[in-house]
Amino acid sequence: MKQGLKMTEPLYLVVSKDGKGDFFSIQEAVEAVPEQCPCVIYVKKGIYKEVVWIPSSKPFMTIRGEDAFETVITFDNYAGKKSECGRVYGTSGSASLYVFADDFRAEHLTIENSFDYLEDVEGKQAVAAYTCGKRLVFKEVQFLGHQDTLYANTGTQYFDHCYIKGHVDFIFGAAQAVFEECVIESIDRGLQVNGYITAASTLVNKRYGYLFLKCKLISTAECNTVYLGRPWHPGGNPNAVANVVFMYCYLGSHIHLDGWTDMSGFKAKDARFYEYKNVGPGASVNASRKQLTDEDSRKYSKAYILDGWEPKR
């Protein structure tokens, strides 16, 4: 660790695969940061095959990559895989990046779960990032996976110009999150139902869940084969009533005409699923796709979703 830094200044650490930084691995740098110490961890280009864990005791941390495409955090755990001690990881245990701290920021990175989805195994859920914290920012970050790519589970989170790729429930959880000007790509599985973009589990006492604002939804999948989302009730919890809004988005032709669908006995019509002024071949207005009124749309601003927090872009 560098010496002589004033504690009033953010700690600045460099991670590099070539040995020219302060650490070889990102997790080593995270562990070297004192608790409650603001810091910037600058990560040079390279593939970092490791599980990165940001504990709640280390808020005010920034991980900044040198290049969004060439600075890669990756690992290949999956839900059905057994650890060295024989424990099955499960979905929440399969992530490549864990964020439990508040006021965390990630920039110019790729976060990937590289598990081979075509492998013939049980439990194919494989999370790239598991995020739990208040005032989290992800700017120009790629999230790559297949099933369950991004587990935005609790807190307030902001995704700015990110790229998120997957096929089944690949943005899911109970966080209050805004996705602004992001590209959301659904992988073509060659099936009649190619997948579901969201599986929110917003608690009924929370007014807001996910807001997709000015995003672009793309895919090479056939027309009408991907749903905007379905309502996830973890463990059958009736108090998880999903809230997802797509507003001012471009929807490709892969988006199903019905927009939303049911999940595990829970009806999409009972969830809080809405759209507002979307465009593109996948945009449609019908009985199964509830539209916000102009008045109601004003209640779905970034400030409302994020409990009054104004993230720095």
pLDDT digits 0-9 by tens, 167-178:
999 999 999 999
- On whether the 36-305 domain is CATH 3.90.420.10, my answer is no
The catalytic position among 18, 169, 258, 270 is 169
Is there a catalytic annotation at residue 148? Answer: yes
pLDDT at 2: 42
Model confidence at 8, pLDDT cuts 50, 70, 90, reads low
Q: What does the pLDDT look like over 94-121, one tens digit per residue?
A: 999 999 999 999 999 999 999 999 999 9
Looking at residue 139, its pLDDT comes to 98
pLDDT band, very low/low/confident/very high, at 1 (cuts 50, 70, 90): very low
**Residue 76 annotated among the catalytic residues of the structure:** no
pLDDT(275) > 70: yes
* DSSP states of the chain: ---S--TTSPEEEEE-TTS-SSBSSHHHHHHHSPTT--EEEEE-SEEEES-EEE-TT--SEEEEES-TTTEEEEE---TT-B-TTS-B--STT--SEEE-SSS-EEEEEEEEE---TTS--S-----SEEEEEEEEEEEEEEEE-SSS-EEEEEEEEEEES-EEEESEEEEEES-EEEEES-EEEE---SSSS-EEEEEE--BTT-S--EEEES-EEEESSPTT-EEEE----GGG-TTB--EEEEES-EE-TTB-TT-B--BTTB-GGGSEEEEES-BSTT---STTS-B--HHHHTT-SHHHHTTT-----
25 pLDDT above the threshold of 90: yes
In the set 120, 148, 258, 296, the catalytic residue is: 148
Locate the domains of the chain by residue range: 36-305
Interval 41-97: pLDDT, tens: 999 999 999 999 999 999 999 999 999 999 999 999 999 999 888 899 999 999 999
Q: How confident is the model at residue 9 (pLDDT cuts 50, 70, 90)?
A: confident
Mean pLDDT, the chain, integer: 96
Tens digits of per-residue pLDDT, 120-166? 999 999 999 999 999 999 999 999 999 999 999 999 999 999 999 99
Position 130 scores a pLDDT of 98
Residue 131: name the closest of 87, 85, 88, 164 by CA.
164
Beta bridge pairs of residue 151: 130, 172
pLDDT of residue 199 exceeding 80, the answer is yes
